[in-house]
């Protein structure tokens, strides 16, 4: 009896290109899946075959449509390969497609594509071999290299950011762009390993995938409470400190299963036009609507920050925040409930504050600094800022272990850390990066406001995060 994963490991040693097979669903919209079981069959007449899982949605639609298109992906189109390999996604979202000459939805800008009419189908175990006669060909002259697939990897590592709340991050959010420029590009030049960025996903999906031994990611960039929780649940690979030099990192920011990769802060910020004379100066002012009228913005996700700010505002000393007095924190927030507005991702928070839609609130420091650089009328308060770090963690059982550890070592090096800090206005974790910071940027980083910070107990959050999330969701006002 052949074990399925052993079989996959063997056939995965056959290097292939990658295609996306598309067809029309019942409404004429695009359906499709990523497939590497593709071959040409006959030259005259021109025929190709694809081998499709008979349980896939794409095959179900293809049977009814009687036609399909095959797109050979180009180098750099990993995002399409991943999008079309995930059955749960709305595949047409953010994908550039049009209806082809023969009525089949087709993707633009692939290496080459062909529209086919189904002429034969043969059952092969749990798959169906679909043979199509090619009716139309297209080659994109702008593309010349194929995307390759070997041993389960699309040419490199997948760095993913989880639970960032920054929806735009997987399509070029500023932080992820900076990670690419500051960490990945040089790593790829040095090693030939490309780093594909994706995200965000969420904790439950990640846990499920690791437990089923089916995690598609090599490396995750996660909030600290996630890192501690995942380590406690046995979902992470221990870091290899023979490759990552632990002694060069701030000990506060490394543990056996994770290494912080940058520091950021949750700050109080206001729109100066709302308070031309004197603006808010501490979290107590966030709750003081008499003195500081106007709407306030908070992060919608149930993550560390808002509850701590509410307790500080209510008079709890910074050193006595934990364990969080949850009833007291929610009661404090209830005092301004009618004035609260919630943001889900960074760009949304910026829009709210810069347009004056809200007068003040809690924000990520780098987002406010970005607005300041654009001369928006905003101001941030470093006093009592809540210090956060983001961690790099590795899923248990990762295949490319050595490459991932090398990547982490590279991302945490002084040069990479300084480059990232200067590009993204986010604090470095490697002390040796400090002297390489751009003097324009340095005053706006948490590292220059160390004395004004309030530390969060992220281990407390790792233990109680799930319970807090339930309470937070129940308390959260309905979306307006």
Ligand X SMILES: Cc1cc2nc3c(=O)[nH]c(=O)nc-3n(C[C@H](O)[C@H](O)[C@H](O)COP(=O)(O)O)c2cc1C
Member of 30, 33, 196, 215 binding ligand X (CB under 6 A): 33
Question: According to the binding rule CB under 6 A, does residue 18 interact with ligand X?
Answer: yes
Question: According to the binding rule CB under 6 A, does residue 86 interact with ligand X?
Answer: yes
Question: According to the binding rule CB under 6 A, does residue 116 interact with ligand X?
Answer: no
Member of 22, 58, 413, 417 binding ligand X (CB under 6 A): 58
Identify the residue whose tokens are 């500023």.
174
CA distance 178 to 192: 20
Select 26 or 238, whichever has its Cβ closest to ligand X: 26
Structure tokens at 52: 């499709």
Select 77 or 422, whichever has its Cβ closest to ligand X: 77
From the CB of 81, what's the least distance to ligand X, in Å? Answer: 6
From the CB of 348, what's the least distance to ligand X, in Å? Answer: 30
Name residues whose C-beta falls within 8 Å of residue 147's C-beta, 6 or more positions apart in sequence.
Answer: 17, 18, 73, 74, 75, 76, 77, 78, 81, 111, 154, 155
From the CB of 56, what's the least distance to ligand X, in Å? Answer: 3
Helix ranges, 237-364 (H)? 283-286, 306-313, 326-334, 346-354
Segment near ligand X (CB under 6 A), from 78-86, 92-100, 385-393, 430-438?
A: 78-86
Question: According to the binding rule CB under 6 A, does residue 85 interact with ligand X?
Answer: yes
From the CB of 70, what's the least distance to ligand X, in Å? Answer: 11
Member of 68, 149, 253, 342 binding ligand X (CB under 6 A): 149
368: exposed, middle or buried (Cβ count in 10 Å: 0-12, 13-18, 19+): buried
Select 52 or 270, whichever has its Cβ closest to ligand X: 52
CB atoms within 10 A of CB 128: 18
Cite the beta strand spans of 73-192 per DSSP E: 97-99, 105-107, 112-124, 127-139, 148-149, 156-161
Select 21 or 409, whichever has its Cβ closest to ligand X: 21
Question: According to the binding rule CB under 6 A, does residue 52 interact with ligand X?
Answer: yes
From the CB of 219, what's the least distance to ligand X, in Å? Answer: 18
Q: What is the 3-state secondary structure (H, E, C) of 70-107?
A: EEECECCCHHHHHHHCCCCCCCCCCCCEEECCCCCEEE
Member of 23, 24, 25, 34 binding ligand X (CB under 6 A): 34
Name residues whose C-beta falls within 8 Å of residue 62's C-beta, 6 or more positions apart in sequence.
Answer: 21, 23, 31, 52, 68, 118, 130
Select 85 or 471, whichever has its Cβ closest to ligand X: 85
From the CB of 407, what's the least distance to ligand X, in Å? Answer: 21
From the CB of 134, what's the least distance to ligand X, in Å? Answer: 18
Structure tokens at 475: 């308390």
Question: According to the binding rule CB under 6 A, does residue 37 interact with ligand X?
Answer: yes
CA distance 194 to 115: 31
CB atoms within 10 A of CB 358: 25
If you compute the radius of gyration of the chain from its CA atoms, what whole number of angstroms results? 25
Select 33 or 409, whichever has its Cβ closest to ligand X: 33
From the CB of 129, what's the least distance to ligand X, in Å? Answer: 10
Residues facing residue 47 across a β-bridge: 42, 133
Give the DSSP letter of residue 449: -
Member of 51, 162, 220, 433 binding ligand X (CB under 6 A): 51
Binding site for ligand X (CB under 6 A): 18, 33-37, 51-53, 56-58, 81, 84-87, 149
């Amino acid at each position: 009896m052949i074990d399925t994963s052993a079989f996959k490991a063997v056939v995965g040693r056959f290097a292939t290109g990658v295609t996306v097979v598309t067809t029309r669903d019942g409404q004429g919209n695009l359906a499709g899946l990523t497939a590497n079981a593709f071959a040409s069959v006959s030259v005259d007449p021109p025929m190709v075959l694809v081998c499709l899982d008979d349980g896939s949605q794409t095959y179900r639609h293809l049977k009814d449509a009687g036609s399909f298109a095959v797109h050979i992906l180009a180098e750099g189109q990993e995002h399409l390969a991943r999008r079309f390999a995930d059955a749960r996604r709305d595949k047409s979202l953010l994908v550039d497609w049009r209806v082809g000459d023969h009525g089949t939805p087709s993707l633009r800008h692939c290496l080459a594509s062909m529209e086919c009419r189904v002429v034969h189908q043969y059952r092969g175990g749990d798959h169906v071999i679909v043979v199509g006669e090619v009716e139309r060909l297209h080659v994109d002259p702008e593309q010349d290299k194929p995307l390759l697939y070997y041993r389960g990897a699309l040419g490199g590592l997948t760095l993913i950011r989880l639970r960032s709340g920054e929806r735009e991050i997987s399509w070029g959010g500023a932080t992820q762009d900076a990670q690419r420029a500051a960490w990945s590009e040089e790593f790829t030049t040095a090693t030939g390993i490309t780093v594909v960025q994706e995200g965000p996903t969420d904790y439950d999906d990640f846990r499920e995938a690791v437990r089923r031994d089916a995690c598609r990611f090599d490396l995750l960039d996660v909030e600290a409470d996630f890192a501690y929780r995942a380590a406690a649940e046995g979902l992470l690979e221990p870091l290899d400190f023979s490759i990552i030099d632990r002694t060069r990192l701030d000990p506060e920011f490394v543990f056996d299963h994770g290494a912080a990769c940058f520091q950021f802060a949750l700050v109080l910020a206001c729109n100066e036009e709302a308070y031309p004379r004197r603006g808010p100066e501490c979290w107590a002012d966030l709750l003081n609507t008499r003195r500081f009228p106007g709407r306030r913005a908070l992060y919608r996700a149930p993550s560390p920050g808002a509850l701590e700010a509410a307790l500080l505002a209510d008079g709890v000393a910074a050193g006595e925040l934990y364990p969080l007095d949850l009833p007291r924190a929610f009661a404090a927030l209830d005092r301004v409930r009618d004035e609260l507005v919630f943001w889900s991702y960074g760009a949304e928070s910026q829009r709210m504050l810069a347009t004056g839609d809200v007068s003040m609130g809690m924000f990520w420091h780098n987002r406010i600094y970005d607005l300041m650089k654009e001369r928006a009328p905003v101001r941030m308060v470093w006093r009592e800022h809540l210090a956060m770090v983001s961690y790099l963690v590795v899923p248990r059982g990762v295949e490319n272990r050595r490459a991932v550890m090398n990547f982490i070592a590279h991302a945490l090096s002084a040069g990479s850390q300084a480059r990232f800090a200067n590009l993204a206005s986010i604090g470095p974790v490697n002390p040796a990066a400090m002297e390489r910071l751009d003097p324009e940027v340095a005053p706006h980083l948490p590292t220059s406001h160390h004395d004004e910070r309030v530390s969060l107990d992220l281990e407390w959050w790792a233990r109680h995060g799930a319970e807090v999330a339930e309470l937070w969701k129940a308390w959260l006002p309905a979306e307006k």
